[in-house]
Structure 1
Amino acid sequence: MISNQMSLLQSSSRIFRHQRSFKFIPRHQFLRTMASAPEKFEWMVIIPDVPGKLEKRMEVRPKHFEGLKTAMEKGFFKTGGALLDEVPKEGEGLKISGSTVVAWASSKEEVMEILKGDIYAKEGVWDLEKVQIWPFKCAFREKFP
């Protein structure tokens, strides 16, 4: 019996000795080191205009649309449009107070960098100090007429 216990103890000792040669890596470190480039995600973005900039908005609008076309071709913008103060009444113009977009990016910071490059930001139409950016998970999409 003592001989069996001694043999078991010696076997255990050998196992533990070999285990010490392996380094334990905590799961969170393993996952962090195995991660590749950050995955892209949709972002809901609300960008208010600086008050009184409607005229400037309309002036640079064609250049804004040129930039949007490029960003859409790269897959950055999924949808977007003007934010309105109210539903337009028949025969009245739109009362625009900002923009909203759904963006496809790796981070909030990436979204902000793209916004800073837009003509609306460069010409002082958008108030980037008040921009709101949230991760967004779309539940459904429908084509509008």
Structure 2
Amino acid sequence: MATPSTSQPEKSEWLIHVPDFPDAKDRRTAVFPQHIARMKSDPKDFWVFGGATLKDCVTPGQPPHITGSAMLVYAPSRDYVLARLKDDPLVEERIWDIENATIHPFFRPKRGPV
């Protein structure tokens, strides 16, 4: 049996919304490849899903108006999640407004496909 000092903390899912800064639209595309590259160094089970939040529904033939990001992650604590988000190029390049991010514990009765 593992002792408290050597056992891994139990992980939970966390639902996150991070708004973009209002002036981020034109810079987001340039920073996105760095964001994806950074994600590849995260634990394999960290990212459950993620995507852009939009001002309005997508209109065919028009680019989406991205207002931020929504994600579900699997991590040991809110502090862990916040530290990881702060280490992202989207924060470093002032795309994500990390000061206005929301991070909520999230529960699904069953992890995996419904």
TM bucket normalised to smaller: 0.7 to 0.9
Q: How many residues are matched?
A: 110
Higher RCO (CA < 8 A, seq sep 6+) = 2
TM-score of the superposition, structure 1-length normalised?
0.69
Question: Considering only CA atoms, is the larger Rg found in Structure 1 or Structure 2?
Answer: 1
| Aligned-partner residue type, residue 117 of structure 1 | D
**Higher-strand-fraction structure:** 2
**Higher-helix-fraction structure:** 1
Q: 2:44 aligned to 67, 70, 74, which one?
A: 74
TM-score of the superposition, structure 2-length normalised?
0.86
> What is the CA-CA distance between 1:38 and the residue it aligns to?
2.3
Compute the RMSD of aligned alpha carbons: 2.0
Partner of 1:19: none
Change (3 A) 1:70 1:37: closer
Partner of 2:11: 40
Instruction: Give secondary structure in 2 for the equivalent of 1:109.
Output: helix
Question: Matches of residues 28-67 of structure 1 in structure 2 within 5 Å?
Answer: 36-67=7-38
Partner of 1:21: none
Identity of aligned residues (%): 35
Instruction: Give secondary structure in 2 for the equivalent of 1:58.
Output: helix
Q: 1:90 aligned to 51, 60, 63, which one?
A: 60
Could you tell me which runs of 5 or more consecutive residues in structure 1 were left unpaired when the two chains were aligned: 1-32
Partner of 2:69: 99
Aligned equivalents of 1:116, 1:42: Cα separation in 2: 18
